[in-house]
Amino acid sequence: MIVATVKKGKPELRKKVMPAVVIRQRKPFRRKDGTFIYFEDNAGVIVNNKGEMKGSAITGPVAKECADLWPRIASNASSIA
């Protein structure tokens, strides 16, 4: 979990600092099986202090590592990569 500023979204949410979970990143990272994975964009999901999503939907894939650590985010994901 990180603390991030909202860049895109509703005007009442923009420019506010909120806790978030990173679900995709452009920088390649190595999985335990030795493969490298990276996505075409960086993305995060706004969460509360308990780790529950503030929104209701996730567009695009979610990293498998994120889905393992945050099952509530994985249940709303359209696909897991």
pLDDT tens-place string over residues 24-66: 999 999 999 999 999 999 999 999 988 889 888 899 999 999 9
Total domains present in the chain? 1
pTM above 0.75, yes or no: yes
Q: Residues near 46 by Cβ (< 8 Å), separated by ≥ 6? A: 6, 13, 18, 19, 20, 53, 54, 55
Domain that holds residue 15: 2-80
- As a whole number of angstroms, the distance between CA 64 and CA 81 comes to 6
CATH number of the CATH domain containing 61: 2.40.150.20
Cβ proximity of 76 and 67 under 8 Å = no
